[in-house]
Amino acid sequence: MLFSESEYKRRVEKTKKRMQDRGIDVMMATHPANMNYLTGYDGWSFYVHQCVLVSLDQEEPVWIGRNMDANAAKVTTHLSPKNIRNYADDYVHSPVGKHPIDFVADVIEEKGWGDKNIGLEMDQFYFTHKTYQILNKRFPNANFVDANLLVAMVRQIKSDPEIEMMKKAGKIAEKVMQTGIDQLEVGKRECDVAAEISKAQISGTDDIGGDYPAIVPLMPAGDGIDAPHLTWSERRYQKNEPVILELSGCYNRYHAPIARTVYLGEPPKRMQEITDIVVEGLEETLDYIKPGVTCEAVEEKWRKSIAKGNLVDASRLGYSFGLNYPPDWGEQTASMRPHDKTVLKPNMTFHLIPIIWQDDIGFEMSSAIRITEDGCEEFYDFPHKLFTK
């Protein structure tokens, strides 16, 4: 198990407190990061239905998943055998009309929770409309509550052991970004560079083994520089074009995202000017961040700083991140943008990622930070600058 049993008990108790405040009796967590957070469960099994049930009237959560994944629950969690419940394989893509949520409903019924206030993660990647239909049909006397971010809000403030995981991810991120920069060459295929980056992510450092990140390497280049979520192709890099690398180190599902821009050749004067403005603005913003300020205040500081150079960043400045699975390492809870009044607290973690596009010039550079007692600190040590090759 990754953390102590007491660590998981603390997380469950904080979740139950939030449930009580919302009037929720039973919480059904389907997001794999929330399942991991509450129990430690870790496996590439989120392509089939699975969940963790947390009830106010039961001390331990209940893990429910496919029968072949039950052994993974035994290996990665502290749960007692009675709270590891698995459905038979004929529930999976069933030709006979079975559905895994029918099995989940059987467990809810067995526990006497069918007429309770049940919290559901209604806007998560792994919660389907079919799931909602089945639960509604099976439990007409239940009150279903949208508890989409309930567990995620508990996850916002990391424990010290979690921060240590993210620091190790930061060490991997340093190697991963340096690998990407080193591999970039005019005439080289994008896919070959991506392969070396992925190798670095998984192999990690000499002391720290890596993990697969929640997002694959994002590597827009050339004409696609203003399309930030492009990955790679068999295209070859060209002379005098910018390349953005948005990558991450990952350690035991904890992330440290990092983005930098590389120019293959002599960068245009305007690109260097933009770089200088962004670097100065980001560093001023990092100096401003401390507990007690709000997300919107941080974004305002950034916006005013780059306005001195006549730049505008139309996207949010940053977002909370940490433990996660594909397709995203973001937590969906807090964003550094106007009107987000989230108050920063120690051990919150954010990925600040300024993105500036002007005509055919694109520049991106990021900083993964944690809020400290009196400011903030980055998870990695990597230069804030435009790289050239």
- Can you tell me the mean pLDDT for 130-138? 98
Band (pLDDT 50/70/90 cuts) for residue 358 is: confident
Are 302 and 285 in contact by the 8 Å Cβ rule? The answer is: yes
Residue 40 pLDDT: 98
CA distances from 148 to 41, 127, 129 (A): 20, 10, 14
Lowest mean pLDDT among 30-34, 48-52, 125-129, 356-360: 356-360
**What confidence tier does 108 reach under pLDDT thresholds 50, 70, 90?**
very high
Q: Which residues make up the CATH 3.40.350.10 domain(s) of the chain?
A: 5-155
What are the tens digits of pLDDT across the range 255-278? 999 999 999 999 999 999 999 999
Mean pLDDT of the chain: 97
Check: CB of residue 102 under 8 Å from CB of residue 134: yes
Q: Where are the beta strands (DSSP E) in 113-194?
A: 117-120, 143-146
CATH value of 5-155 in 2.60.120.620, 3.40.350.10, 3.40.50.1100, 3.40.50.410: 3.40.350.10
CB distance 231 to 218 below 8 Å = yes
Q: Does residue 219 surpass a pLDDT of 90?
A: yes
Q: Where in the chain is the domain with CATH 3.90.230.10?
A: 160-388
The helix/strand/coil state of 190 is helix
Architecture of domain 160-388: Alpha-Beta Complex (3.90)
Strand order in the sheet with 349-352: 330-336, 318-321, 349-352, 367-371, 376-378
Residue-level pLDDT at 97: 86
Is the predicted pLDDT of residue 362 greater than 90, yes or no?
no
Evaluate if residue 225 carries a pLDDT over 90: no
**Has residue 314 got a pLDDT over 90?**
no
Predicted TM-score (pTM) of the model is 0.96
